[in-house]
Amino acid sequence: TSGFGDISNKTFPETFKFGAATAAYQVEGAWNEDGKGESIWDKFVHEDPTRVKDQLNGDVACDSYHKWQEDIELLKELGVKLYRFSISWPRILPNGTPNKINQAGIDYYRKVINGLKEAGIEPLVTLYHWDLPVHLLDLGGWLNEDIADYFGDYARIVFKNFGDDVKLWATINEPKTTCMNGYGGGSMAPGLQLLADGVYKCAKVQLLAHAKAYHIYQEEFAATQKGKVSIVIDATYNEPASDSAEDIAAAETETEFNLGWYANPIYLGDWPEVMKAQIYNRSLQEGYSFSRLPAFTPEQVAYVNGTFDFFGLNMYTSLIAASADYPIGEPSYYSDKGTATTHGVDWTASEADWLYSYPAGMRKLLNIVWNKYNPGSIYVTENGWATNDTLADQSRIDYLQGYLSNLLDAILEDGVNVVGYTTWSLMDNFEWAQGYTQKFGIIQVDFDSPNRTRTLRESARWYQNLVSTRCLVDECVDS
């Protein structure tokens, strides 16, 4: 079945926070204005425009660097009480080091945060949504453990400047997608293809960097600022392809190599056992004398373990997982994992080739996260749908309604403490290697006009109604 149950006719709890999300490189533009340094995305798209499907880039994007007031007006119009956005590291520290702070960058985010405050909208701020300063790439980027120290210095400056007004922090957005696409497949900056030897090191460095920022907050800011810090992890719900023991194990392995890869070290301590065992065994058979999965020292396990105040979950889609044989040959994350994945035949396709709608996966994944990791509370920090440019985006409404109904069931029926939701995205933006060919916004942006005119889609009207009624259907009963 497609997993569509009846849409819940209960209301969302009064305390539940609805919001919307964006990320700096995808919306800001002004890539070289007012002292901003070059990021790895600036370099990646300028060096070889063919890396992006429409050969366009984020030089201007939604021009939110200049149009932030308009963005806040749109948030107000939607009625949301939460806005997730990210800070551009090289806008604050042009070469990534604390040696030179760009005051214009500080001023920009200060204005945005003040504007949100006046509008009664709470900021949820991501420190790193993929735009590493180029200078730090020259040092090895996320393959060099020293980057954790640089990240700590950057985080301290941000906490110090904005922590009086920002109480929800996400350190790193989707370390898995960064490492798999930036250091594995190579479709994203910095474009390295190190699926066997780079992706696990990248993961370790990002986890150490996250933990560093978390500890700095706890030691230097938590007592006075009283905010919450966590990481944002993207994950799929993985359904076994059949009732066979092999496929059931494959779905579990799929989850451990994706969600567990990052969540286990932070919420339980250390890599998942199945990753340790399978990567070590494959490495030996491939001729290595060591595991390609770099071990955490016991001190590092303890340093990373427990570095969360909530769970930030990006959830878009699900997979059907089966066990698969990968003969020993080219070493790779995929052969280490040993699964084959597809999507359900009756799941609706979006404009993005990886994104299919399976609403029940939302409830199932929330239960897994809740029961396995005991995070105390969960924010769904991204969830959204890709369409073409149309304003009549009924497929997005169907998707959001189905996923949010399952999210609500998880809260009311299963007791999962989901406290907030920021849909991806507030508006169309630069969709990385897909350029402007895929639209994720509930608000349309006209990238052909210098104004970057923003227009509410039908889904934005629908979301506006949901936010004000807390109800997914025409009429709700009290929850």
- The least CB distance from residue 138 to ligand PNW, in Å, is 24
Residues 260 and 253: their CA atoms lie apart, in Å, by: 9
Q: Are 159 and 225 in contact (CB under 8 A)?
A: yes
Measured from the CB atom, the residue of 290 and 354 that comes closer to ligand PNW is 354
CA separation for the pair 204, 192 (Å, rounded) = 17
Provide the 3-class DSSP secondary structure of residue 119.
Answer: helix
Question: Is there a contact between 14 and 479 (Cβ–Cβ < 8 Å)?
Answer: no
Catalytic (active site) residue 458: no
Instruction: Give catalytic status of residue 174 as yes or no.
Output: yes
State whether the Cα torsion 123-124-126-127 is positive or negative: positive
Q: Maximum Cα–Cα distance for the chain, whole Å?
A: 64
Question: Whose Cβ is closer to ligand PNW: residue 183's or residue 303's?
Answer: 183
> Of 174, 239, 254, 256, which one is the catalytic site residue?
174
Query: Positive or negative, the Cα torsion across 461, 466, 468, 471?
Result: positive
Looking at the Cβ atoms of 102 and 238, the one nearer to ligand PNW is: 238
Task: Classify residue 294 as exposed, middle or buried by CB count within 10 Å of its CB (0-12, 13-18, 19+).
Answer: middle
Which of the 8 DSSP states describes residue 437?
S
User: Please, what is the end-to-end C-alpha distance for the chain in angstroms?
Assistant: 27
Nearest residue (CB) to ligand PNW, 63 versus 382:
382
What token pair was written down for 109? 């985010």
**Which residues contribute to the site for ligand PNW (CB under 6 A)?**
23, 26, 173-174, 177, 234, 236, 314, 316-317, 354, 382, 424, 431, 440
Shortest spacing between CB 41 and ligand PNW, in angstroms: 11
Q: Please, which residue, 108 or 440, has the CB nearer to ligand PNW?
A: 440
Query: Residue 101 has what DSSP assignment?
Result: -
**Residue 425: how many CB atoms within 10 A of its CB?**
24
Among 306, 427, 409, smallest CA distance to 365 is for 409
Nearer CB in complex with ligand PNW: 163/359:
359
In this structure, which amino acid lies at residue 74?
L
Asked if 259 contacts 233 with a C-beta cutoff of 8 angstroms, the reply is yes
Query: Residues with catalytic annotation?
Result: 174, 382
